[in-house]
Amino acid sequence: MTEVIIVIIAIIVLIVGVIIYGVVTTTMGTEEDVNKNFVPDRFERMVGKDPKKKSS
């Protein structure tokens, strides 16, 4: 049972780490983010999405 809890905590830490990385890098300007969703465009292209600017 403790192994399951450790795995769940590890998955949560990884997800939170990726979110924090995305926010920090787009805020500092090291990654491009044309649609301002705090997900770097490089990651969006890796999963097959086309990052475009939001229409106003």
Give pLDDT, residue 16: 94
Give pLDDT, residue 53: 64
pLDDT in 10s for each residue of the chain, 56 residues: 899 999 999 999 999 998 898 888 888 878 888 887 777 888 888 888 877 766 55
Residue 43, Cα to own-chain centre: how many angstroms? 7
Give pLDDT, residue 6: 97
